[in-house]
């Protein structure tokens, strides 16, 4: 009996190992092939890691700028950054309509974001605090009307919106301390529904408090539900007092005053595999605000973006303790090619077999539904072969891509460059290299095209 049990356990372990190994192996049909059939080519190209900063869309440290109705100038705050948080202030319109001049300036600011190659994190608020006795926000009917007014502009310019922070309620739009009672559970629910209904349906809305999210959706988002049309699949979290106290200044405290950090972080750890986790620190609180806790929680909660402007003492502590660079590199995704293989010589009409191993060294996966193309370039001609892959499923860890690319019958003879291209999903940004995903490898990135070049292929016998 013991021998039988041992054999059963061993078989179970073998099956588990195959499942784990196969989980991150994606073929061009997007499905994981059986690990027994996974062939690693003998002649492989090995890629060198890029050790310096690698900027990529929709991730990383960001700066913040206030918008009061005048077109924004991003010149001073976009160097090396792909995200800017815009705090759009509605203070002057608490009792009235948002004027057309404000809306026009907002649209112009979104146009300028496109010109500067950045995307915006947008939050609308009626005050700049202070806590615990902030200036006024606005009555509920006025808030709902303002959301209606803003919606068309955000829909039209969603290509340069990374995500929205729920805003509108209370001090700094952080969903507490409302002077009009907007932070009651009933009003929060009404505003949540209005935001999800009015703002672009393929953009995330981030909410301040895990307790609200868990009350709305008691079960965390599942893998099968992610990136779907479900409202829950669009709900993310921003923690604006990260590491600031045992409960992050109330972030993890329930209505009864109990600190639920362990339980709620377990929920968030599942949810943030598929939705953004972002925010800022708000006060030093060592040792919690030191590097060890910061790195551990950022990895657990799949942090995508962090405000570099606040809190300056905490950010300075990261630099002093030596983890600033790691945080900078790992916020969001950091994709690096490890090794690859393909036929070095082929002919028109033939099938080129590509195998590539890569690793996501970041805290999180990419958030947008980008296409992945195998690219061949020769004599100013570009050939694209789309793969049925979803980079949003490339969570931290190793992944393998396999592809079978059929060359055109009229492909010219000679040497051509082989690469991978992951452009922005929006037609307006597709050909802009600043919005394509760059691999963290030396010598592969082309800043003119946004293609990660892997090597060369020689084509013989062209027509």
Per residue in 62-81, pLDDT (tens digit) is: 999 999 999 999 998 888 89
Q: pLDDT of 262-285, one tens digit each?
A: 999 999 999 999 999 999 999 999
Q: pLDDT of 344-377, one tens digit each?
A: 999 999 999 999 999 999 999 999 999 999 999 9
Specify if 41 maps to a domain: yes
From the list 79, 60, 87, the residue with the least C-alpha distance to 298 is: 60
CATH number for the domain that contains residue 82: 3.20.20.80
The domain boundary residue, chosen from 329, 357, 372: 329
Q: Are residues 315 and 338 in the same domain?
A: no
Specify if 15 maps to a domain: no
pTM for the model: 0.90
**CA-CA distance, 104 to 112, in Å (whole number)?**
12
pLDDT band at residue 171, thresholds of 50, 70 and 90? Answer: very high
**CA-CA distance, 418 to 438, in Å (whole number)?**
15
For β-strands 60-67 and 83-89, DSSP reports them as parallel
What is the pLDDT at residue 76?
85
Q: pLDDT of 235-261, one tens digit each?
A: 999 999 999 999 999 999 999 999 999
What is the pLDDT at residue 22?
30
The domain boundary residue, chosen from 329, 349, 378: 329
**CA-CA distance, 187 to 141, in Å (whole number)?**
11
pLDDT band at residue 42, thresholds of 50, 70 and 90? Answer: low
What's the whole-number mean pLDDT along residues 168-174?
98
232: DSSP letter: G
Q: Is the pLDDT of residue 29 over 80?
A: no
**CA-CA distance, 238 to 37, in Å (whole number)?**
42
Look at the chain and report how many structural domains it folds into: 2
What's the whole-number mean pLDDT along residues 119-142?
97
Q: pLDDT of 180-228, one tens digit each?
A: 999 999 999 999 999 999 999 999 999 999 999 999 999 999 999 999 9
Residue range of the domain that includes 82: 60-329
What is the pLDDT at residue 30?
38
The domain boundary residue, chosen from 294, 309, 329: 329
């Amino acid at each position: 009996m013991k021998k039988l049990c041992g054999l059963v356990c061993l078989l179970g372990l073998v099956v588990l190992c195959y499942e784990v190994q196969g989980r991150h192996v994606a073929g061009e049909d997007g499905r994981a092939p059986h690990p027994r059939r996974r062939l690693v080519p003998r002649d492989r190209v090995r890629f060198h890691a890029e050790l310096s900063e690698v900027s990529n869309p929709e991730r990383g440290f960001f700066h913040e700028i206030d918008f009061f109705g005048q077109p924004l100038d991003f010149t001073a705050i976009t160097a090396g950054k792909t995200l800017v948080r815009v705090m759009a202030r509605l203070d002057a319109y608490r009792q009235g309509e948002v004027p057309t001049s404000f809306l026009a300036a907002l649209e112009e600011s979104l146009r300028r974001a496109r010109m500067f190659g950045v995307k915006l994190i947008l939050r609308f608020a009626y005050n700049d605090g202070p806590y615990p006795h902030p200036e006024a926000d606005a009555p509920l009917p006025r808030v709902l009307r303002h959301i209606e007014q803003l919606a068309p502009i955000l829909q039209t310019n969603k290509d340069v919106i990374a995500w929205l922070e729920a805003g509108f309620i209370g001090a700094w739009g952080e969903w507490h301390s409302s002077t009009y009672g907007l932070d009651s559970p009933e009003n929060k629910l009404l505003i949540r529904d209005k935001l999800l209904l009015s703002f672009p349906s393929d953009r995330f809305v981030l909410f301040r408090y895990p307790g609200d999210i868990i009350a709305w959706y008691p079960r965390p988002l599942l893998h099968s539900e992610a990136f779907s049309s479900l409202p829950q699949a669009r709900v993310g979290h921003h923690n604006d007092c990260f590491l600031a106290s045992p409960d992050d200044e109330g972030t993890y405290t329930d209505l009864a005053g109990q600190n639920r950090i362990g339980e709620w972080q377990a929920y968030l750890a599942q949810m943030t595999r598929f939705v953004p986790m972002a925010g800022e620190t708000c006060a030093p609180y060592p040792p919690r605000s030191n590097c060890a806790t910061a790195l551990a929680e950022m990895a657990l909660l799949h942090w995508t973006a962090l405000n570099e402007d606040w809190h300056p003492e905490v950010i300075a502590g990261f630099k002093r303790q030596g983890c600033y660079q790691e945080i900078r590199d790992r916020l969001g995704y950091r994709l690096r090619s490890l090794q690859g293989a393909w036929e070095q010589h082929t002919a028109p009409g033939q099938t080129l077999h590509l195998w590539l191993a890569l690793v996501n060294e970041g805290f999180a996966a990419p958030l947008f539904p980008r296409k992945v193309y195998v690219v061949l370039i020769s004599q100013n001609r570009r050939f694209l072969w789309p793969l049925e892959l979803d980079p949003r499923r490339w969570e931290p860890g190793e992944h393998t891509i396999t592809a079978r690319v059929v060359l055109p019958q009229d492909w010219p003879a000679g040497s051509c460059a082989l690469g991978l291209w992951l452009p922005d999903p929006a037609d307006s940004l597709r050909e802009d290299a600043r919005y394509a995903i760059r691999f963290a490898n030396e010598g592969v990135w082309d800043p003119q095209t946004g293609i990660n070049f892997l090597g060369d292929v020689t084509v013989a016998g062209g027509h």
